[in-house]
């Protein structure tokens, strides 16, 4: 069976490990929050940019030039099989 000192040592190590993990979680949460804020701002800016862009008037359509009719070539007669 483990002695009291061994158990205390293991307990101390486990607490350190937990503390380190909690710091990582806190840092990650802060980073996620920061990135979400940036995304929100970027979306708002993009939306505002679309609204601010003036609408262009449609240019008058040009009439298509009449197509030239290609002279049809007569198909060569098929060769008969022997």
H helix runs in the chain, sequence order:
4-52
Q: Is the pLDDT of residue 72 over 70?
A: no
Tokens found for residue 36: 């979400």
* CA nearest neighbour of 42 among 30, 31, 50, 54: 50
**pLDDT tens digits for 10-59?**
999 999 999 999 999 999 999 999 999 999 999 999 988 888 876 666 66
- Region 58-74: what's the mean pLDDT? 67
The residues, ordered by sequence, that sit 6+ positions from 2 with a Cβ below 8 Å of its Cβ are 10
Separation CA 25–CA 17 (nearest Å): 12
pTM above 0.85, yes or no: no
- Banded model confidence at residue 76, pLDDT cuts 50, 70, 90: low
């Amino acid at each position: 069976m483990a002695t009291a000192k061994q158990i205390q040592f293991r307990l101390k190590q486990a607490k350190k490990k937990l503390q380190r993990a909690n710091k990582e979680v806190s840092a990650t949460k802060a980073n996620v929050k920061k990135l979400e804020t940036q995304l929100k701002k970027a979306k708002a800016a993009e939306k505002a940019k679309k609204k601010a862009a003036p609408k262009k008037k449609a240019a008058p359509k040009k009439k298509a030039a009449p197509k030239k009719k290609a002279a049809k070539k007569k198909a060569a007669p098929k060769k008969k099989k022997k």
